[in-house]
Structure formats: C-alpha cells, structure tokens
Structure 1
Amino acid sequence: MRRPRAAPALLAAFALTALAHLGALLAGSAVATTVTKPALMPLLAAHVLARGGPRPLAGALLFGCCGDTLLLTGGDTAFLLGMASFAAGHGCYLLLCARHGAPGGRRTYGLGGAYAVACLGTVALLWPDLAPGMRVPVGLYSLLLTAMALGASRARLRTGIGGLLFLASDTLIASGVADWPQPPVPQFWIMLSYLPAQFLLADGLLRAARPQDPPGPGAAPRPRAYGAVPARS
C-alpha cells in the first residue's frame, strides 16, 4: 500500500477539500457541504496508507468518515450510530497510542486528572439538558474520548494537541444536542477544530510508528523522537 510519491498529492487533495468544506459551511451551501464532508477522511486515510502507515490508523479515519456521513442525515438514531462509529475510531487511536506512547509519569498523571475533572464536569453540566435516551451514550462516549485524548498526549506533542482539539469539537456538538446557546454557524467551528484534530492525530502517529534505521557500525545511537517507544510485539 505504500506509495510515497502519491502521498503529497493526497494530502493536498485533503487540504483543498477541507477548505472547500469550510467555505461551503460559511456560505450555507448544503449541496457542497454534503458532497465534500464524506470525502475528507478517505483522502486522509489514503494519504496515511501511501506513507506506509498502520492499517488501524487508516481504520480510525474511515470510522470517522462513517460518523461524518451519518451525522449529515440527522435524527437521533443516525446520531447514536455516528457516535458509535467515532467511538470505534477512538478505539483504534487508543490501540496505537498504547503501542507507540511513552510510559506514564507525573505529567501524564497530572494531565489525566485535569482531563477527568473536565470530562466529569462537562457531563454533569450537560446531563439535565440531554434527552433521557442520550444521557448514557453521551456519558460513555465522553469517557472514551477523554481516554483517547489522554493516550494521544503520551505519543507525541502533535497527537496530544489533536486529542485536545477533538475534545473541543465533540464538546461543541454535545452542547448543541443539549440545546445550549451556539456560536454563529456552529458546524463551521466544529469542523474547524475537527479537521486539524484528525490530521494531527494521523500525522503524529505516523511519525511515532515510523521504524528507525539502526545506526551504522561505530555510530552513536540516535536520540529517540519525543514519546516514541518500540512497538509491542
């Protein structure tokens, strides 16, 4: 699946489609929004595979595509199915972050505590305003999303930022489901944080998973990249 020459073109196609999608949201073009949104994550997944990335990483992005497409259709059932698809993607990210993340330390424990407080606080605030059928699914999804964001912080700096942006994007979605006041064109702000989140997670995990060539005879060992550890067998 590795096609290094195709990778830059696929990344450029993803970037152009992302800009077109954001522009369509601002312009209020439902047709352009519907056409561009399902194409975003497959382009990024193709870029990942062209760079020789692991299949679970491409899988996480394709699960994101399923979630994006389901959320376009509207309705509670589609929302729950879309949330389940994103949850499967977070499971893929968690697997990769566990494989390529650095061991936990004081920084990880401190960040984990902050994420836990933020997650529980947000769910507690949203809970009374969510429909009864949404409360448990949103609460469980929030826990998984927070675990993914914390795991991402152990892989690389950019994956940590990606996890944080994913949290921000999905929190804005949840606030809309709870009928909280929204900013103008809320879908624009959701996608403005979601798109770089997915790219940073994908690019950071690609870099963390990249095998390092062994040093030549007599050469000093290379310093290990931030957060990179040997993959588990």
Structure 2
Amino acid sequence: MKRAIIESRPYLLLSLLFGISYFFIKDSDFPGMYLMFWKGAAVGFLAVYALRRSHNFEGKLIAAVMAFGAFGDMLIEIDLMAGAGSFIVGHCIAIWLYARHRREKTAFSQKMFAILLVPVTMFIAWSLPFDRTEALGLAVYSLFLAVMAAMAWTSSFPRYRVGIGALLFVMSDLFIFAEMGFLQETPIPSLAIWPLYYVGQFLIVTGIVRTLRKELAIPNP
C-alpha cells in the first residue's frame, strides 16, 4: 500500500492539481510562460503516471501519447500548427496502441458508431470556422482525432472509460473549432474546452493503465 501511494497517487494528484487549477487561472494575468508550463504539467504528470505504473511496451505507448499531448498543450500557445502536429503524433501512437488491443466481438451498432464517427467529425470540423481557408486543415486534423476515438471505442480497453475519454477529447476539439465560428462571441468554449479535454485524457490513461496492470496480474490498490 505504501509503495502504491509513493509510486502512483502523487502523479495523479499532481496532475489533478495542475489540471483543475489551470481552469481557474487560464484567463488570469498569470505570466504567459509560467501558464504554458502549468497547462502542460496537467497531462505531463499523466505521462509520468503511465510510465511508473505500466512497465511493458503498451505502457510506454500510452505514456508517449500523454507526453505528446502535454507538448501539444504547450506548443499550441506559441504556434497552432506546431501544437496540432504534436497532437497528431500522439493520435497516431494511440491508434497503434488501440490496434494492438482489438475487441474480439463488437456489436453492429458499436461498429457503425465508430465508422460514422470519422466522417461526421470531419464534416463538423470542416463546417465550423467562419474563415473557410481554415476548414480543410481542421478537417485533416480531425481525421486523425476521429480515427483515434473510433479505435479507442472498438478496442478491448474499457469503453466507458477509455472510449468515453476519447469522445470527450473529440468534443473538446470541436468546441475549439466552434470558437472559430458561431461560438466565437460566447463564453461556452472557454468553459467547455479544458474540462472536456483534461477529463478525457485522465479517463484514457487511467483506464488503459488499469487494464494493462490486470493483464500483467499486478494488483491495483
């Protein structure tokens, strides 16, 4: 029990501390550079958690997904394209991870949901920005995002943890795109984007780590 507290809970607690507090300081006068690292620390500590709690190859993969997410969180504050590139790398690694853990039997309705998720997400992303020169880029990015979520939904990882977490990630990014369009004059994106994203990442990493530890017959105290 003591070892579990030392090895795992501090990283989750630190992640929660940075993740929750960032929501309240993100629009403050906190110095930009410090705020950027504060933001990155929230998911960054999830990467550390994954590394410390899962010692197999899949554990390294999900840690890499979280690490690229943390880099994306920080880079997006400097350059939107650089941040998107980091997230795309993370999505590709996640797709690889989910491809290694396919669900043996998937209901027809669940398969159809996963299949439709990709074109629907891409269409919504494409349709949202008022500046139509941004539409194609958002659609291309959302392809990687939606495939990641569809693969998570049909993987052998817990659907109501990992699958839901991936869908929350999708919703968060769609709110970012909506902020470029019909929601740009409203406070809704500012209230929704970070909670959906952070909770989604938290559910993904904890669901995967818990599953991997069960597969290795490692107790989860």
Q: Percent identity?
A: 25
Q: Distance in 2 between matches of 1:16 and 1:87?
A: 26
Q: How does 1:32-181 map to 2 (within 5 A)?
A: 33-52=35-54, 54-73=59-78, 78-103=79-104, 104-126=106-128, 129-132=130-133, 134-154=134-154, 155-157=157-159, 158-178=161-181, 180-181=183-184
Q: Which of 206, 219, 232 is equivalent to 2:209?
A: 206
Conserved? CA contact 2:122–2:146, under 8 Å: no
Conserved? CA contact 1:96–1:205, under 8 Å: no
Conserved? CA contact 2:128–2:180, under 8 Å: no
Cα pair distance change 1:141/1:124, threshold 3 Å: closer
Cα RMSD (Å)? 2.4
Conserved? CA contact 2:168–2:199, under 8 Å: yes
Q: Distance in 2 between matches of 1:81 and 1:41?
A: 17
Q: Secondary structure at the match of 2:103?
A: coil
Q: Distance in 2 between matches of 1:156 and 1:209?
A: 11
TM-score, normalised to structure 2's length? 0.82
Is there any run of 5+ residues in structure 1 with no aligned partner, and where? Answer: 214-233
* Structure 2 partner of 1:221: none
Letter in 1 for 2:110: T
* Structure 2 partner of 1:24: 25
- Report the CA distance between 1:185 and its aligned residue: 6.7
Letter in 2 for 1:196: V
Letter in 2 for 1:63: F
Q: Could you say which structure has the larger radius of gyration?
A: 1
Q: Distance in 2 between matches of 1:101 and 1:9?
A: 31
TM-score, normalised to structure 1's length? 0.78
Conserved? CA contact 2:15–2:45, under 8 Å: yes
- List per-residue Cα deviations over 1:81-128 (Å, max 9, x = no partner): 11111011111111111112303441332212441453143034226x
Q: Distance in 2 between matches of 1:117 and 1:188?
A: 26
Q: Distance in 2 between matches of 1:40 and 1:152?
A: 22
Q: Distance in 1 between matches of 2:8 and 2:173?
A: 28
Conserved? CA contact 1:25–1:188, under 8 Å: no
Cα pair distance change 1:188/1:212, threshold 3 Å: same
